[in-house]
Structure 1
Amino acid sequence: MSGIQIRLAEIIEALSKALDLTEGQPPGHCIRACYIGTHIGRELGLPDSALQDLYYTLLLKDLGCSSNAARICEIYLADDLAFKRDFKLVDGSLGQVLRFVIGHTGMQAGLAERFRGILNILQNGGEIVTDLIQTRCQRGAEIARMMRFSEAVANGILGLDEHWNGGGRPIGLSGTEIPLFSRIALLSQIADIFQASGGPEASKAEIAKRSGTWFDPDLTAAFARVAARPDFWEILRSEALEEVVLSSEPGQQAIMADDDYLDDIAAAFAKVIDAKSPYTSGHSDRVALFTDLIAEEMGIDAEGRRFLKRAALLHDIGKLGVSNSVLDKPGKLEGEEWEQMKRHSEFSELILSRIHAFSEAAVIGGAHHERLDGKGYPRGLTAEAIPMEVRIVSTADVFDALTADRPYRAAMPIAKALGILWEGAGQSHDPVCITALERALDRTAIEKKAAA
């Protein structure tokens, strides 16, 4: 682990697939948008330095998308993943918007709840949408800065939903007031969504239709030239696209990420993960803290603790693919809901396994809900198949879940939470980890009293 050097583009491409999950998009959407947008940038004659910033803007355009998922569920009484996926096909015309709202609001709710939900949206729709987009765009820009990207990248993400004619949100910028990267990213996003749902001709038609309203006419003209090239769509729709996009990163020299940068990336993506639900705010950071307390108490060296901290920060990345109608449900999960929740471990393992720098953490992401007695999920592993690293993060994860508010109950006192962990010692969690956590918490309390 120590002294690792890995291409930043490789990490961001893989993490962009997690952003596709939270937007309800088919895997590879951000990568396809990156391919489209960088072609437009080259067609415009942008220099390599600008193309490199554009490249990362396109891969990270959806960084803030998890932050409005819970609100969408609350307002529209809907599955946020399906809602976001389908809303991207709406062109903003009144007829389409009304049909979408009526067709997507409260379909699983009672008639009275659905009626009130639709009425609220029709009366306050503009304000609601502005608030949702503002939250998403501002949060995305903040996280981009945490990941050490330039202001050009942050501002490109911030202006993603502004429209050429001033009819976009959250500010209502128009024309060249909108950052160029934002203009390219929005066009690229819509181009991919429509080619995925209707093929290249549908994509070209939709871009042409929105020229001068949503899109800068110069960019639609550049897109039309790019889209007319014989191999453009063939490569876009090929299995080799990810390799093509990675190998064509603009710039004189590929940006490399060292250990410190990897720590920043893990911390930033923890913010994306925890923004998905109001009940998980700060969860990943706290699990990382409790993990480190346990690891320190167990005498694990600095390199091992660093690895565990990253794994703890990213262990729940798969929750980006679970609807907030499940994550935030106040009652017991039943049937398909429970199956959806269990899949977050599989998603975590899949996403992290594709990133060389985080591949060892994939084991923890996939197994942090396993139990020593074999009654956990997703694989039902038993003690001999569960590494100590998994046991440490699993103990920290459950301890934080017990001591934080959840949709179905209030936070528990520390003593009660530790009591529950001990009740399952040897069956659910490793008593060695529980003992280490208990000692660390006791020592922290003593240190606090001494400092007072």
Structure 2
Amino acid sequence: MRISLDKTILAMAIALDLAEINSIEDTYVIENVSKINYSEHEFFHHSKRTAYIAIKIATELNLDTESMQCLYISSLLHDIGVTSSVSLTKNHTSEKFIKQHCVDGANILNPFPVFNDISDIILYHHENYNGTGAMGLKKDEIPIISQIIRIADLIELSYKEKVPSFKQRDYIIDWIKSKENIIFSSEMVNAFLTLSQKDSFWFDVENVAFIDYILLYNSPHLDIYLNLQDFEKIAEIFSRIIDSKSKFTAEHSKGIAYLAYKISKHIGYSKEKCTKMKIAGLLHDIGKLAIPSKILDKNGPLTKNEFSIIKTHVYYTAIILNKIEDIPEISEWASNHHEKINGDGYPNRLNGDNLSEESRIIAVCDIYQALTEDRPYRKGLNIHKAISIMDEMSEKNYICKNALNHLKDIVLK
């Protein structure tokens, strides 16, 4: 099985932007040297726009093909450490948050061979040319790709989504010039100044978030494909990010992946299909990155509006995973875990005629895992109480009786 790395990275970038929107929304983060207020920025499409700007600056610098590919991946994933670091802003300074998300991002990616080349780049993407950055590197000690991401990131953070580009380009240009030899090297500033004279650059910055062609046309070609085992490792990265969003779901995705894999083996699925089921379990809640933590962690019943927001997470799971065209089955199984046999589930109100056995299994694993975990409003239930509740759900035709029996074969041994 071959899975496009390019499509996988773009899907990850969508997930990270959704996470960043909701991670930063209730915080007040101002970086000391740049004085940019992160909490005032709208992070819709931040990764895509940063990647586009970085690629265009790198083109001015005549970066070689291999470095350009590394830059493209790094710029799309540069803020991968944000979701595990954002809680620091409640009790620590902004500088602590900025440093920690660089460290966390590098640590998340470092164990995986496919990302070995970019973990250090992400670690150093908040360095300043004069040595006042997160890790204290200065001048040529800072990797060139990290320098490019730094200037692209700050250009994007300075850009206002709802203001036409022609009304803000002069301000951004002047601001970048004022930070020469402080945040940016002369080489970076001059490359940007040359680029900034092209109207087409600003038009693309304005539209890259909404027109996929712009990034696709300008990005380096990644003729790299993952096998299923490599993709499983990436899924493990994102399950850690998903589960770290709330202290009450620290092992949720991992637990569902374990159950789905065990049931799949018990049924007699092929080795490949068992792995796909495990991955579906790891990624089933990736859409929860779009849900504010204050709703996920609420210590009490959700309001009607809050539940409506919670329900969107499976929609976003489908949006993210459908970006990866090589995994349609995994996307389907992961996205259907809140559908019900009687057609009263969400988001598509599918009924039993439209729900595969695999989707039904992921659904019962999700319910069991949720019932047995501690939540803000209750302690986790014991196995027998959880199964008793699920038996009632099966009788009401909410969940599949056969899928529940397979679950019982595993957890009641």
TM-score (norm 1): 0.78
Match of 1:64 in 2: 81
Q: Give the distance between the partners of 2:274 and 2:287, measured in 1 at CA.
A: 22
Match of 1:165 in 2: 130
Instruction: Report whether the alignment pairs 1:21 with 2:15.
Output: no
1:191 to 140, 151, 155: 155
Instruction: Report whether the alignment pairs 1:319 with 2:288.
Output: yes
Structure 2, unpaired ranges of 5+? 22-41
Q: Deviations over 1:282-330 (max 9, x none)?
A: 2211111111122222232223222212211111111111111111111
| 54-63 or 271-280, which deviates more | 271-280
2:146 to 174, 178, 182: 182
Q: CA deviation at 1:56?
A: 1.1
| 295-304 or 204-213, which deviates more | 204-213
Q: Give the distance between the partners of 2:160 and 2:333, measured in 1 at CA.
A: 33
Over aligned residues, Cα RMSD in angstroms? Answer: 2.4
Instruction: Report whether the alignment pairs 1:428 with 2:392.
Output: no
| 200-209 or 413-422, which deviates more | 200-209
Q: Give the distance between the partners of 2:108 and 2:200, measured in 1 at CA.
A: 35
Match of 2:26 in 1: none
Q: CA deviation at 1:137?
A: 1.9
Q: Give the distance between the partners of 1:438 and 1:287, measured in 2 at CA.
A: 14
1:138 to 103, 120, 136: 103
- Preserved contact between residue 88 and residue 96 of structure 2 (Cα < 8 Å): no
Q: CA deviation at 1:52?
A: 1.7
Match of 1:10 in 2: 7
Match of 1:270 in 2: 239
Q: CA deviation at 1:369?
A: 1.2
Q: Give the distance between the partners of 1:389 and 1:135, measured in 2 at CA.
A: 39
Change (3 A) 1:20 1:206: farther
Match of 1:105 in 2: none
| 286-295 or 419-428, which deviates more | 419-428
Q: Deviations over 1:390-436 (max 9, x none)?
A: 11111111111122221212222222222221121143221211211
- Preserved contact between residue 399 and residue 417 of structure 1 (Cα < 8 Å): yes
1:399 to 368, 371, 381: 368
Match of 1:286 in 2: 255
Q: CA deviation at 1:27?
A: 4.2
| 199-208 or 335-344, which deviates more | 199-208
Q: Give the distance between the partners of 1:382 and 1:141, measured in 2 at CA.
A: 43
- Preserved contact between residue 315 and residue 347 of structure 2 (Cα < 8 Å): yes
Q: Deviations over 1:107-133 (max 9, x none)?
A: xxxxxxxxxxxxxx6xxx53xx34433
Change (3 A) 1:281 1:205: farther
Match for 2:250: what amino acid?
A: S
Q: Give the distance between the partners of 2:52 and 2:382, measured in 1 at CA.
A: 51
Q: CA deviation at 1:247?
A: 4.7
Q: Deviations over 1:191-228 (max 9, x none)?
A: 12333434251433433343333333321221111121
Match of 2:300 in 1: 331
Instruction: Report whether the alignment pairs 1:384 with 2:359.
Output: no
Q: Give the distance between the partners of 2:326 and 2:62, measured in 1 at CA.
A: 34
| 355-364 or 334-343, which deviates more | 355-364
Q: Give the distance between the partners of 1:352 and 1:11, measured in 2 at CA.
A: 8
Q: CA deviation at 1:71?
A: 4.8
Match for 1:367: what amino acid?
A: N
Match of 1:31 in 2: 48
Q: Give the distance between the partners of 1:217 and 1:279, measured in 2 at CA.
A: 47
Q: Secondary structure at the match of 2:183?
A: coil
2:327 to 358, 378, 392: 358
Equivalenced residue count is 386
Q: Give the distance between the partners of 1:141 and 1:314, measured in 2 at CA.
A: 21
- Preserved contact between residue 31 and residue 242 of structure 1 (Cα < 8 Å): no
Match of 1:439 in 2: 409
Match of 1:116 in 2: none
Q: Deviations over 1:211-266 (max 9, x none)?
A: 33333332122111112123222233346853343355447x72222222222222
Match for 1:292: what amino acid?
A: Y
- Segments ≥4 residues shifted beyond 6 Å: none
Q: Give the distance between the partners of 1:22 and 1:395, measured in 2 at CA.
A: 26
Q: Give the distance between the partners of 1:299 and 1:149, measured in 2 at CA.
A: 31
Match of 2:37 in 1: none
Q: Give the distance between the partners of 2:44 and 2:327, measured in 1 at CA.
A: 19
5 Å-filtered alignment, 1:81-120, equals none
5 Å-filtered alignment, 1:201-212, equals 201=169, 202-212=171-181
Change (3 A) 1:131 1:403: farther
Structure 1, unpaired ranges of 5+? 76-120, 444-452
